[in-house]
Every structure is written in structure tokens, then in C-alpha cells.
Amino acid sequence: MLTRMNPPDHVVRYVPNRPDRLQQEAAKRLPFALTQLTATSLVIVCELDDVPAENIRPSLHVSITQYIRMSDGSMIRLDMDRGLSSFAHGHARPVSWRRSPADVIEEILTIIRADEPDPESLPWDEYAEAARLRGVNVDASAFRDLPHTVLLSDDLARIFEF
């Protein structure tokens, strides 16, 4: 944990909260070598999106961003963004968006699978092509074998009343 301190000359510097844990060794940066990394999973991140100003009905907007998680823990965005919008019709106040986690995740996966002829398949060929365009050497069959995770932001979990 670091604390920000402003010395008299107003130059910002950071000092450790616990100097007894200060390491004497300088931080080392490793070179980033994408060719030495492997894809380990597909991560689907869902976040609360902005509501258009012209909306007069209660609505919920979710952005869905897809990433490849690499063997070093980094994630590379696939730029295959999706979204979800829900509107409350004939609503009562306050509006409840309550849903079970399983229902929300299934809806997210249904939206992602929407362009595939097989309703149970994710767009593996598209993922592989997007990954190759970013320098990650992975094919569609290797992608199929990777685990996938759907992550919901804290804001969405609160709105869906998990």
C-alpha cells in the first residue's frame, strides 16, 4: 500500500505505508514477448453501460467485452463487443431487475452465440481470427478446448440483486 505525499516543492512522490516491508531490490520489467505466451481461457466481461439520455422508460444497458487470458495473466481484447438492453414495460416503482446469476449468464452466452448456426456454440472461428490479428497464434479448435468465464461487474450484481 502506498500513500501519496506532497513535499514542500509540490512534486508528487509515493512512499510506503509500512517502511519495514520496503524491498531493497529495484523492480524489474520483463520484456513482453507475445510469441512466448499461450492462450489459457476466454473471459467475457459484462459491465453496466450508460443509459442514453433520450430514454424515458426505465432501462438497463450492459456492455459485453470479450478477452483472451494469456499464460502470464494478461488479457487481450478481442474487439467483438456486444451489448444488452432491457426496458421495463408497464413498470411499477421502484423497478426491480432481479434475476438469478444462472439466468443472466445464460442470456449473455445466448447473445454471444447469436451469430452461430449451432445455438450451443460460441463463435470459435471469429475468436481465433481476432486473436491472430492481435498476434496470438491460436486456432478455432484450440479455442474450443479453452475454458470460458463470464464476469459481471459489482454494479450489475447489485442491480440483478445477487
Span 84-138, pLDDT tens digits: 777 776 666 777 888 888 898 888 888 888 666 776 788 888 889 999 999 898 8
Q: Within a domain: residue 27?
A: no
Q: pLDDT by residue (tens digit) across 58-80?
A: 888 899 999 999 998 999 999 87
When comparing pLDDT for 123 and 82, which is higher? 123
Q: Pairing mode, if any, of strands 148-152 and 39-48?
A: parallel
| Lowest-pLDDT range of 24-28, 62-66, 103-107, 147-151 | 24-28
| Total residue length of the chain | 162
Q: Within a domain: residue 106?
A: yes
What residues make up the domain containing 138? Answer: 38-159
Q: Within a domain: residue 79?
A: yes
Q: Which residue has the cell 447473445?
A: 111
Split at pLDDT 50, 70, 90, the class of 13 is: low
CA angle 151, 156, 160 (to 5 degrees): 115
Q: Pairing mode, if any, of strands 13-16 and 39-48?
A: unpaired
Q: Within a domain: residue 28?
A: no
Does pLDDT of 12 surpass 60?
no
Q: Name residue 68's beta-bridge partners.
A: 42, 76
pLDDT on residue 6: 42
DSSP H stretches of helix in 65-100: none
Give the contacts of 81 (CB within 8 A, at least 6 positions apart): 63, 64, 65, 66
Domains in the chain: how many in total?
Answer: 1
Chain CA centroid to CA 79, Å: 11
